[in-house]
Amino acid sequence: MIDPMDIIGEFYPRNTPLFSLLTDHSRQVADKALAIASNLPHLNLDMAFIERAAMLHDIGIIKTRSPAIGCTGDNPYICHGVLGRQMLDTLGLDPSYGRVAERHTGAGITLDNILAAGLPLPPRNMVPLTHEEKIICCADKFFSKSPKKQGQTMTRDLIVEELEAIDPGHAQRFERWAQAFDL
């Protein structure tokens, strides 16, 4: 059994602002994902996996450049999912943890998104496929790591509006999942 806090502690110095930011955000996402999943007993979801994967979904932010949240890495923030997957895969974890990290950004990133926008990402689809991946992705959208939005829970309408500004396909995917999960 993996302990997400031990894994995070391998990459993030404990008792630092970035460790706290990541673990606080991840706990919010995990709690929301578990709440969503608990209302879907007919799907026979792996609740323990949902909690652990939600705690690890943003582990890659440390390797990105996002001064507003205290990240001083070399990579664009859009890369945090792919970087998180690499980090988790190097630990020899079940690949499903890395897939959650890679696929949670936006409402998933398609190959068309990557190519059309020239994103610095591997040319492949990175859209959640399993129910667990979709639930974690949805839960993540309700909470921001931005200092301006910390402590706030986003509304479904605001999430759709923000995703629409990124790409209409993201907003449509989120809306389908939100409807299916009764959010």
Q: How many domains does the chain have?
A: 1
Residue 73 forms part of a structural domain = yes
Cα 41 from Cα 68, distance rounded (Å):
39
Specify the pLDDT at position 183: 87
pLDDT number for residue 85: 98
Q: What 3 state SS string does the chain have? A: CCCHHHHHHHHCCCCCHHHHHHHHHHHHHHHHHHHHHHCCHHHCCCHHHHHHHHHHCCHHHHHEEEHHHCEECCECHHHHHHHHHHHHHHCCCCHHHHHHHHHCCECEECHHHHHHHCCCCCCCCECCCCHHHHHHHHHHHCCCCCCCCCCCCCCHHHHHHHHHHHCHHHHHHHHHHHHHCCC
Q: Are 183 and 138 in contact (CB under 8 A)?
A: yes
Residue 18 included in any domain: yes
Establish if 19 belongs to a structural domain: yes
Residue 44 pLDDT: 96
Looking at the domain assignment, is residue 68 inside a domain? yes
pLDDT for residue 152: 83
Whether 172 is covered by a domain: the verdict is yes
81 within a domain of the structure (yes/no): yes
169 in any annotated domain: yes
CATH number for 19: 1.10.3210
**pLDDT per residue of the chain (183 residues) written in tens, 0 to 9:** 789 999 999 999 999 999 999 999 999 999 999 999 999 999 999 999 999 999 999 999 999 999 999 999 999 999 999 999 999 999 999 999 999 999 999 999 999 999 999 999 999 999 999 999 999 999 999 998 887 877 788 899 999 999 999 899 999 999 999 999 988
Domain boundaries, position 19: 4-178
Residue 183 falls inside a structural domain? no
